[in-house]
Amino acid sequence: MKKILIGTHNQGKFKEISYLISKKYKKISPVTLKIKSPEETGKTFISNSRIKVNFFSKFVDYPVISDDSGLCIKALNNKPGIHSARLAKKHGGFFQAMKFILKKLEKKKDRSATFVCSLS
């Protein structure tokens, strides 16, 4: 069976990406291999997904897929953007981060947002 490393420590993302990949592949997590995540120093979703895929590729001799994604809210100058996961961690999880964001949006008329994902 072919293998593919899905370069994320987020179990939800791991499941989502796994679902999209053919059953011909055994999906491997960096958690299973005890590989820590690299520091995401990029300024864009694309650069962060590339940082991760290049990092994880150093540990295996089979294909790697990795992503970077986040929520871009127009009224907040497209933030939290690439800092979405860090915001959630800072506030104790996804739901707490959403409460924080909704509080910031209380007096904003335009609450439009996009979810951006870059795969490498």
pLDDT, tens digit, for every residue of 22-80? 999 999 999 999 999 999 999 999 999 999 999 999 999 999 999 999 999 999 999 99
Residue appearing with tokens 């910031």: 104
Please tell me the distance from the alpha carbon of residue 99 to that of residue 114, in angstroms, as a whole number: 17
d(CA 35, CA 114): 31
User: Would the pLDDT of 1 be above 80?
Assistant: no
Tell me what pLDDT residue 94 has.
87
C-beta separation of 56 from 9 below 8 A: no
DSSP 8-class letter at 115: E
Closest CA to 60 of 109, 3, 99, 16: 3
How far apart are alpha carbons 30 and 54 in whole angstroms? 13
Looking at 61, 67, 68, 110, which residue is catalytic?
68
* Reported pTM: 0.87
Q: Is 68 a catalytic residue?
A: yes
- Mean pLDDT of the chain, nearest integer: 95
pLDDT of residue 68: 95
